Structure formats: C-alpha cells, structure tokens
Amino acid sequence: MGYFKILIDSIVAGLGTVENSNGNIEKSEYDILAVKFRNLPSGKAVHDNGDGSFDYVDAPVDPDPELGDAEALEILMGGAT
C-alpha cells in the first residue's frame, strides 16, 4: 500500500492511498494528515511546513469561481477533461 499527498503552494490539496505502488509519504504522515482533515475547520486548509509539521491556515481563494466542488472532484478523480 502506498500513501501520497498532493501539494499546491505548500497547501495539502489531496491525500490518498494506492495499492501495489509506492507512495510519496510514509503511513505515519498519512495518519497525521487524515486526522488534520477530519478536524478541518470551515474556511481553513492544511499547510505543510516542510519539516513534518502541519498547520491550519486560511483557505486560498478559488482561482476559478466557475468551477464548482462537483466539477473539481470529477477532475481530481480523472473523469473530466
């Protein structure tokens, strides 16, 4: 099992697992991030400090207000072009 995170400007934009592959993070980091996301306050994002620690910061403004949550999820899941 591989564990991975997706960073955009030091903000954790994605977190997941993949079978039969290596990830880019260890399970311990994945577990920490999973707890952070479960307890994510409204309007906040998770910032990767680069030293193994994470903080809540104000969520960045959506650069494409025409793109809704459903469309963004569809793109992340690979179903849209």
Question: pTM for the complete prediction?
Answer: 0.69
Asked if residue 43 belongs to a domain, the reply is yes
The pLDDT value given to residue 22: 83
Task: Provide the domain limits for residue 61.
Answer: 2-76
pLDDT mean across residues, the chain = 86
Asked if residue 56 belongs to a domain, the reply is yes
For CA atoms 73, 38, 43, 24, the dihedral sign is negative
32-53 pLDDT tens trace:
999 999 999 999 999 999 998 9
In Å, what is the CA distance from 51 to each residue of 43, 55, 74, 81? 24, 11, 32, 35
What is the number of domains present in the chain? 1
Bridge partners, residue 52, by sequence: none
Query: What does the CA dihedral 73, 24, 21, 1 come to, rounded to 10 degrees?
Result: -90
Asked if residue 81 belongs to a domain, the reply is no
The distance in angstroms from the start CA to the end CA of the chain is 28
